[in-house]
Amino acid sequence: MKRHWWKILGALLIAYALIAGLLIPLNTGILDIHPDNALLGEKINVQINAYNAHFDEANEIQVWLKLDSVHFLNGTDIKVQSNTEMTANFDLPSIGLANNRTSQSATLIVDNEIDGYALLPGALQISANKDSLALKSTAVWSNQLGQLHKNEKLTFPYRNILYETIRNLFYHVPLWFAMLIIFFISMIYSILYLRSKEKRHDHAAYALTQVGILYGILGLITGAIWAKWTWGAWWSFDVKQNMSAVAMLIYLAYMVLRSSFEDYEREARISSVYNIFAFTTLIPLLFVIPRLYDSLHPGNGGNPGFGGEDLDHTMRMVFYPAIIGFTLLGIWLANLSYRYLKLKETWIDRD
């Protein structure tokens, strides 16, 4: 049992990533509000649609509009229609936009004691024009926000566009991380083989490459599914998507290369050389070229990377174990394939 602790650890971490990653609910978020624009000085009644909220059960619901750090407006006449829908009135003051601006967007803040607070930046576009000058409102901005509640429950951050797909971060990204780690170990074994000419090193490199390809294909599939629901298409000609597909072609070529030799020694030696060459081109392919082009991926082409607010502590708690779990599972898979190769060599290719 002592020798297998890492396999158990890998399986446990994957189970944890699946259970925690799929079961922990999303934080409360605001989907949209209607209307989403208003004139300064207008009295408006807005319909608020929220996600994962408990308005029906909550007692202390507050709604705020935030124009900037010193202009807040409390919503009145809150009418709850269901757990996720309600209406509120806002009596917009006649002045308040930053100097010389004719239009400014305000953030909507919804708060209650069960869900904590939720924000929707840019929820309401407030404009000033000659119509708004005619509206004489007596309302004034408040210079501070009321007491907000904080959600103490375990939740994942709510992000517009991403919604529930934010959970894919625990599967899609760790698969790529694990693939890179596995290809890297495979390259190390190829170097070892070239130095030692021991068959077991080549078997290990071969087995690890097989798992790396499997992970790469799974990474492409999970990425395509994620892209479908956030970018709108399975394949959006994103440079990182394309380069990942090319990376898979490079490693599939390794498989073809392995099968085109007659004697084993030559096969092992030349595919080891190719494996080292292939891993080295993988680095510019996945990390340099995507930076030269615009990409939809976070962290490329000027997009912010996952991090800061998006990757909060709850997500890190699942994300990092998932990377370790997928890597260990990959090494386990490679270990099985390695043992198969060794047995095949001993019992089938013996003569």
Partner 1 sequence: MEILRQVRTLVTKEFLLEWRSKYALGGILLYVLSTVFIVYNGFIRVSPPTWNVLFWIISLFTSVNAVTKSFSSENGQRQLYYYSLMNPTAVIFSKVIYNSLLLILLNVLTYFVFGIIAGDPVRDKGLFFLAIFLGSIGMAVTFTFISAIANKARNASTLIAILGFPLIIPILVSLIKISANALGVITDTAVTQDVMTLLAIDAILLALAYILFPFLWRD
List residues near partner 1 by CB under 8 A: 194, 243, 246-247, 249-250, 253, 256-257, 260-262, 266, 269-270, 272-274, 276-278, 280-281, 284-285, 288-289, 292-293
What is the smallest separation between the CB atom of 286 and partner 1, expressed in angstroms?
A: 10
Nearer residue to partner 1 within complex by CB, 167 or 297: 297
Minimal distance, residue 186 CB to partner 1, in Å:
16
Helix (H, G, I), strand (E, B) or coil at 121: strand
What does 270-327 look like in DSSP terms, one character per residue? Answer: HHHHHHHHHHHHHHIIIIIHHHHS--SSTTSTTPPPS-TTSS-HHHHHHHHHHHHHHH
Q: How far is the CB of 10 from partner 1 (least distance, A)?
A: 31
Which is closer to partner 1, CB of 149 or CB of 258? Answer: 258
Before 35, cis peptide (omega within 30)?
A: yes
Query: What's the token pair of residue 316?
Result: 């890190």
Closer CB to partner 1, residue 141 or residue 235?
Answer: 235
Q: Which is nearer to partner 1, 97 or 289 (CB)?
A: 289
Neighbours of 184 (CB within 10 A): 14
Nearer to partner 1, 27 or 244 (CB): 244
Q: How far is the CB of 330 from partner 1 (least distance, A)?
A: 22
Give residues with Cβ within 8 angstroms of 160, minimum separation 6.
Answer: 29, 31, 120
Using the minimum distance from each CB to partner 1, give the nearer residue, 128 or 247.
Answer: 247
Q: Which is nearer to partner 1, 141 or 277 (CB)?
A: 277
Contact assessment for residue 286 and residue 240, using Cβ atoms and an 8 Å cutoff: yes
In the complex, least distance from residue 275 CB atom to partner 1, rounded to whole angstroms: 10
CB of 237 to partner 1, least distance (A): 13
**Using an 8 Å Cβ cutoff, are 290 and 244 in contact?**
no
Q: From the CB of 274, what's the least distance to partner 1, in Å? A: 6
Contacts of 213 (CB under 8 A, 6+ apart): 248, 251, 252, 255
Q: Give the integer Cα–Cα distance in Å for 175 and 266.
A: 32
List the beta bridge partners of residue 124.
106
What whole-number distance in Å separates Cα of residue 190 and Cα of residue 287?
22
Q: Which helix (H) or strand (E) is 198 found in, with range?
A: none
Cβ 188 to partner 1, closest distance in Å? 15
Nearer CB in complex with partner 1: 141/184? 184
Asked if 230 and 162 count as a contact pair (C-beta separation under 8 A), the reply is yes
- Residue for token digits 């951050």? 157
Minimal CA–CA distance to 342: which of 192, 207, 189, 197?
A: 207
